[in-house]
A and B are shown apart, each in its own frame.
Chain A
């Protein structure tokens, strides 16, 4: 009797135990599943696009440092170095197919007026195809950007520009990194040091230096270097940074941005506002084209009408605000604008090149172009009225310019010779040996130049904070970058000082705004201290959770996108 009872109880015990274990397991699983749903999906692997390491070592290193900090927040980040044209293609033409990218805005003299960047970068109308590639939409910002453009009163405009910067600092559509320094070296035994001019936001390599540099000895030709080949010498085509050095010298403009960053009359003797939308420009007398013909008001009017059609797409936006032009007398032209524009002087009068009507009218209206734009036309011998004239050029090798003695501001030097030198070390060697007297395009380690200066006292190095900036651009169209708290956390994790010292070898200044510190009148400074703990706190407060060291979205939020391959 006893044995029977025991054995039957034993037989029951095993399945019972199994059932208990099974039930317990199921309960735990449900609990886990339940809590998983409560903490949101894991954030996918994010891809940070950057220039390739060999092409842009500073950007690449900065990207690595940034990814390292972001991993501390529990994110999985991959840095992907790509050739520049490919980066441009993805970011610009496939606006919903990238997560986050390194990017830069280049400093140009025309950007001495903050209008171009304040408006184009963040206005909602440039979101689809234009410069607002991150996809920032803020009607309040649109209003401020429009207002500063038409505010003629400088003080009031400054307030508006400051509010614009405040808004961007609060919304974090960009994670600013640094304002890089332009590094240029020259031989002071060939060029007198006190005739070299530093232009705010651009550096020593600028138009004013080229006009003003005086030979210290018998060598009267300035030999400069460029690290890549030129594309064109064409006053109706913005074909590249290096090309613009040449265009600046060969063609005049009505006004020019001076060394202090403000526009001043150049080919014009005087420029006056008659009323909010009318500007009178009085031309200098005695100006001649390089082929000897005189520069007249007809030429000037033509220079502003030519880009207004479809023959010069790059310059068209800058004349779009001109309603009409008329000759007041044989020296004065009246511009009638469609709407008041505070940056008219800088972004139009100091930008449009004065071109000879007798050369360009037959080309633009004739059969030569075959329906293409003026950008496809290359003059055999470009004719301008500027302080230098073209002697001959080979875009892959060398550009040879000669001083224009007939110019009212004729240069001190004889010839301006730009050599294409693709090898950075060779360029430095050429500077040492005197083959190049002005190292105008140096993309290597600034320390090499510093050592050179210590070894050779005739070499001078000038480093100037550029008005452009480097930054990390998140794609506001793709979660989690559409969450301002997420962006704030990412920004707090970045150590800008480290970037400036480590990635840029000290040749950069930490950045906080799209209006550069090189424009002191407009810039609003702010100190950002990196704080990974603060970043983590912000994420936590916004609902993000760290599970097993990996960051998850807030409760209930699903990861709808897959990692980019």
Chain B
């Protein structure tokens, strides 16, 4: 229990540091936020009004205090560009991003761990000689290229999947939840998730394989072989369970890392997500949205890190925080 509390306190400290860094980083960046609305007949008075409304004319330390107070109540302010509360803007794209990232990662990790384990078993064969270079190529290939290739083949040429967006034109759903579980949404999800999965599978696959190779050399595996257990049993029940631990951590961290970094996939498939919103906000000097998005990503990353820690102590009885081995 004490352990969990310590970890939580550490988490909050990290979040505070990040929030402060974010605040100062954006204020020191070049670019004036009102420059995003230049296509108008603004007068000097109106520009000053904008500055006052958004608090940009107060001294920096005053802005900081206001900012921290707002963060605590979950208030990110209003977007300069969209003129609506930041939470609303973020909330509009968050479900799409979470579903895409989760599905891409789950497929990548499920595929990666299974094939990685199997490859370790197939060490030294021609199967390995072909698969490893393929995996490396897919890992090294640019995401947008992978996406465009999938889109060109399965979208344009074969017409099996739609070319973009998260739903069909004019589709109406009674609620957000029903939209997310609808066939239409899932049909649109396939290609972008497949691209992500193809791109991300390299890490878990190679990691799993390398861990398995280590584990396979351990005494207890030799023992299992001596006992006469089947290959499947040895690989999956005995080997993989041990090799899985670092991969579980990688998954947790991978989720945190991916959630804001899918800009490329989102652009290729016109997937309305957090990555594009973030990039557009930074380009338009839309401080509140950029800060809100970054902070959200940090929260997710730090939480996943925390979960990974806990997961590790659950999965591996050898690792027990607070107890010295």
Contact = CB atoms under 8 A, between A and B. Distances in A.
Contact of A394 (B47, B92, B268, B270): B92
B159 A433 contact: yes
Contacts of A89: 30-32, 35, 285
Nearest to B148: A425
Interface in A75-124: 83-86, 88-89, 92-93, 106, 120
Interface string A420-433: 11110111011011
A395 B267 contact: no
A397 B272 contact: yes
Contacts of B78: 376
A120 B43 CA distance: 13
Which bracket fits the contact residues of B?
35 or more
B35 A396 contact: no
A221 B169 contact: yes
Interface stretch (A36-44, A229-237, A324-332, A497-505): A229-237
Contacts of B166: 397
Given A85-B284, A394-B272, A425-B148, A417 B169 contact: yes
B82 A232 contact: yes
Nearest to B266: A422
Interface residues of A, number: 58
Contacts of A429: 151-152, 155-156, 163
Nearest to A129: B44
Interface in A135-182: none
A435 interface: yes
Contacts of A430: 163-164
A106 B47 CA distance: 22
A396 B272 CA distance: 6
Nearest to A395: B82
Contacts of A120: 41
Nearest to A432: B156
Contacts of A92: 35, 38
B261 interface: no
B270 A423 contact: yes
A313 interface: yes
Contact of B276 (A234, A415, A422): A422
Given A86-B31, A429-B151, A421 B164 contact: yes
A400 interface: yes
A496 to B, nearest CB: 25
Contacts of B167: 397-398
Given A93-B35, A422-B276, A371 B53 contact: yes
Nearest to B96: A397
Given A231-B81, A398-B165, A392 B42 contact: no
Contact of A375 (B39, B83, B151): B83
A240 B169 CA distance: 22
Nearest to B38: A88
Contacts of B163: 426, 429-430, 433, 435
B84 interface: yes
Nearest to A234: B83
Interface string A306-336: 0000100110010000000000000000000
B277 interface: yes
Contacts of B81: 231
B53 A372 contact: yes
Contact of B40 (A83, A221, A314, A420): A314
19 contacts: A85-B35, A85-B285, A92-B35, A221-B169, A232-B82, A234-B83, A237-B83, A310-B46, A376-B84, A395-B82, A396-B92, A396-B276, A397-B272, A422-B267, A423-B164, A426-B155, A426-B163, A430-B163, A435-B164
Interface of B: 30-32, 35-36, 38-44, 46-47, 49, 53, 78, 81-84, 92-93, 148, 151-152, 155-156, 159, 162-167, 169-170, 172, 266-270, 272, 276-277, 280, 283-285
